[in-house]
Structure 1
Amino acid sequence: MTEEMNQIDVQVPEVGDVVKGIVTKVEDKHVDVEIINVKQSGIIPISELSSLHVEKASDVVNVDDELDLKVTKVEDDALILSKRAVDADRAWEDLEKKFETKEVFEAEVKGGLVVDIGVRGFIPASLVEAHFVEDFTDYKGKTLSLIVVELDRDKNRVILSHRAVVEKEQTAKKHDFLQTLEVGSVLEGKVQRLTDFGAFVDIGGIDGLVHISQLSHSHVEKPSDVVEEGQDVKVKVLSVDRDNERISLSIKETLPGPWSQIGEKVKQGDVLEGKVQRLVSFGAFVEILPGVEGLVHISQISNKHIGTPHEVLEEGQTVKVKVLDVNESEERISLSMRELEEAPKADQEDFRQYQAKEEPSTGFQLGDLIGDKLNKLK
């Protein structure tokens, strides 16, 4: 029976009829109403005011409210009425349409993540937000955008989701953002999470990857040495893959280069401490400032003759070096370790070289020869 047919002028309302009533009195546990067009009063028990638990009837209705009510029982002195039954009938029809069309609607959250939408609707914790929520206390009284994700009238089951609405909005926002994003743009972002290979940064509803090689001008062992989750950073867009929704970012590109104004930081003749980063056949590259390496040519490693740098150096070793030359335009610095060593005295070196030679076959020693000459002088 349709609502229009139910709301006819009836002299003797029957169970199941829908009538209109005016609230005349609100008690704690029930509501008194006067039935329109019928000289009869009615009572709405507090349990029939809403699909949700109600502490006080005044939380739902007020005096002079006009309500559509279903007759649940006919007694001699009054009709027993239900607002909840009428609301539920209308709600199920509306919810079935919303479920089919995935329509987004708003509802106020009551206690325990439930909403009154004519029937009791429930929002599971996993469907509240796109991110993890630990405490739902603040959601009470909050109005959320929702869609129906599960509907079963026989079991009086209505499952709602706010997360689905959020994710749909995020997808649309991400798509629009990707279309306008340009390589070379410098943006503000927030570090979302760290991995072994880099950091994911939120640049406005979408995450981009800052590879570990793009975190700093200097060598980075692990991302947590440079950035932390929740940190605000400035990033430069390196590439955009719209089909796969992948964005490559760089923090390094937004920072002053390590060679910027290097001539003011390092000067010829400076004695510095550095770390050997690489050994090659022609010398050793030593990092003297973060991201700044200079070359110690093999001829400048030691006063002694060496065949390869590996004979006296190893990667990771800390050494002292002297700056021989700084070429800022070509980003080259020449260094020397030899100049910080004490040079051997010439006569000592000659003597060592002489000793290295074979002695005459006569078996005479240098001391014997000098001793003979001294004896003749006597």
Structure 2
Amino acid sequence: MSDELNNVEVRNFEEGDKITGTVTSVEDKQVYVGIPDSKLDGVVPISELSNVHVEKASDVVNVGDTLDLVVTKVEEDVLVLSKRKVDALKAADEIKAKFESGEVFDAVVSDVVKGGLVVDLGVRAFVPASLVEDHFVEDFSDYKGKTLAFKVVEFEPEKNRVILSHRAVAEAEKEEKKKELLATIKEGDVLEGTVERLASFGAFVDLGGVDGLVHISQISYEHIGAPSDVLTEGEKVKVKVIGVDPENERISLSIKETQPGPWDNIAEKAPVGAVLKGKVMRLVSFGAFVEVFPGVEGLVHISQIAHKHIGTPSEVLEEGQEIEVKVLDVNEDEKRLSLSIKALLEEPQEENDYELPEENTGFQMGDLIGDQLKNIKNDDDK
């Protein structure tokens, strides 16, 4: 047996030699590897196991694993080996190909560090915080171990610099989805969306990859001062598509057109003869427009404002004034409501419609006249 061992050819190794070894033992900070045709054991320090930070060697290798390694140092009784350098050499060509082609690929986030994420591609690749998502992320702690789609956006092998972006992938997917939606959405569609952002002039609603604008005039039948009076960001809303401009990627939406109109069943809400409370919204030369329900205005003709003659409605009324009106006529089809203020006012009496009261003297007017006639007759007798 000893003769057979003496006849085995033992290989001498030098720095830079590539070998394949089998893991025989795993410690916290190093791994021992069996090397064929060698009297020396191999050891891989934890710093040479991966291009990213590793807490324990057992996180990346197990006993029995076969590893491709390179000799970094030859000592008297051991070979110091590196898995990291072999991985980097293999990865360089693959990363270069991905960078030049713009390929999208999946990879696992190895670590979260200050300023971004670390990904092990055989070399250490970095994802700056600004390139992780297409929106602001305050805390990246739950990204460790997550699989994301990436593109290589910078590659400088001489500087060991590899920059990845998940944001570029997300934006490209969103743009593609946007084009698909713009091609399918048509005027008249009723959809569900999420209020993405509020502005002074309206609300932007996410329809699932594309935003549409609900102008402030299309939010409610009631007058509102600002979209935030009735909407909140993140709120689910039903909208109707009232315009599509694929060329400029614009979609006009309406919330109020998905709701019952203010004039629906107006004849039941405001029958002829009904007395309603309202608010003077506008004064014009021929009368006053009074809002009696949200979005429903009726006209009080100038002749129905007061019993007396007036030159202009502003002589009696002012905008914003709360008043009571009586319904004279209602036309739901034409959305017309005729109202009257004077029908609720007491009509003043004419000046000649009353007599001065007689003073109670204790005797009748006829008695006085009779006495006067008697006096005249007596004078004639004389």
Query: Does TM-score exceed 0.5, indicating one fold?
Result: yes
Match of 1:91 in 2: 91
Match of 1:226 among 223, 230, 245: 230
Match of 2:70 in 1: 70
Task: Pick closer, same or farther for the CA change 1:22–1:215 going to 2, 3 Å.
Answer: same
The yes-or-no answer on 1:316 pairing with 2:342 is no
Q: How far apart are the structure 1 equivalents of 2:294 and 2:10?
A: 91
Task: Pick closer, same or farther for the CA change 1:168–1:59 going to 2, 3 Å.
Answer: same
Match of 1:47 in 2: 47
Match of 2:79 in 1: 79
**Alignment check: 8 A CA contact 2:31 2:44 kept:** yes
Show CA shifts across 1:142-195 (max 9, x none): 111111111222322221111100001111111111111111111000111111
Match of 1:343 in 2: 347
Question: Structure 2 counterpart of 1:143, which letter?
Answer: T
Question: Structure 1 counterpart of 2:331, which letter?
Answer: N
**Alignment check: 8 A CA contact 2:11 2:38 kept:** yes
Q: How far apart are the structure 2 equivalents of 1:297 and 1:148?
A: 73
What are the equivalent positions in structure 2 for 1:85-124 lying under 5 Å apart?
A: 85-112=85-112, 113-124=117-128
What are the equivalent positions in structure 2 for 1:156-305 lying under 5 Å apart?
A: 156-305=160-309
The CA deviation at 1:348 is: 6.4
Task: Pick closer, same or farther for the CA change 1:315–1:348 going to 2, 3 Å.
Answer: farther
Identity percentage over the alignment?
A: 64
Match of 1:29 in 2: 29
Q: How far apart are the structure 1 equivalents of 2:354 and 2:301?
A: 26
Match of 2:18 in 1: 18
Question: Structure 1 counterpart of 2:42, which letter?
Answer: G
Show CA shifts across 1:336-362 (max 9, x none): 1111222112236899xxxxxxxxxxx
Residue correspondences, number? 348
SS in 2 for 1:154: helix
Q: How far apart are the structure 2 equivalents of 1:283 and 1:349?
A: 30
**Alignment check: 8 A CA contact 2:283 2:318 kept:** yes
Runs of 4+ in structure 1 off by over 4 angstroms are: 348-351
**Alignment check: 8 A CA contact 2:282 2:289 kept:** yes
Q: How far apart are the structure 2 equivalents of 1:350 and 1:328?
A: 45
Segment of structure 1 superposing worse, 74-83 or 102-111: 102-111
Task: Pick closer, same or farther for the CA change 1:348–1:109 going to 2, 3 Å.
Answer: farther
Show CA shifts across 1:102-125 (max 9, x none): 111111112321111111111111
Output the aligned Cα RMSD.
2.0
**Alignment check: 8 A CA contact 2:109 2:144 kept:** yes
Match of 1:363 in 2: none
SS in 2 for 1:123: strand
Q: How far apart are the structure 2 equivalents of 1:248 and 1:14?
A: 72
What are the equivalent positions in structure 2 for 1:120-159 lying under 5 Å apart?
A: 120-159=124-163
Match of 1:362 in 2: none
Show CA shifts across 1:320-375 (max 9, x none): 11112222222111111111222112236899xxxxxxxxxxxxxxxxxxxxx99x
Q: How far apart are the structure 2 equivalents of 1:310 and 1:135?
A: 61
Q: How far apart are the structure 1 equivalents of 2:238 and 2:333?
A: 27
Q: How far apart are the structure 2 equivalents of 1:221 and 1:154?
A: 60
**Alignment check: 8 A CA contact 1:276 1:287 kept:** yes
Q: How far apart are the structure 2 equivalents of 1:234 and 1:149?
A: 39
**Alignment check: 8 A CA contact 2:10 2:39 kept:** no
Alignment TM-score, normalising by the size of structure 2: 0.87
Q: How far apart are the structure 2 equivalents of 1:350 and 1:208?
A: 70
Q: How far apart are the structure 2 equivalents of 1:267 and 1:73?
A: 100
The CA deviation at 1:219 is: 2.2
Q: How far apart are the structure 2 equivalents of 1:142 and 1:220?
A: 45
Match of 1:361 in 2: none
Question: Structure 2 counterpart of 1:116, which letter?
Answer: D
Q: Which structure 1 segments of 5+ residues have no match? A: 1-8, 352-372
Segment of structure 1 superposing worse, 14-23 or 262-271: 262-271
Max Rg structure:
2
Task: Pick closer, same or farther for the CA change 1:10–1:211 going to 2, 3 Å.
Answer: farther
Question: Structure 2 counterpart of 1:147, which letter?
Answer: K
Match of 1:306 among 293, 307, 310: 310
Alignment TM-score, normalising by the size of structure 1: 0.88
Q: How far apart are the structure 1 equivalents of 2:253 and 2:353?
A: 58
Match of 2:361 in 1: none
Match of 2:375 in 1: none
**Alignment check: 8 A CA contact 1:22 1:36 kept:** no
The CA deviation at 1:136 is: 0.9
SS in 2 for 1:88: helix
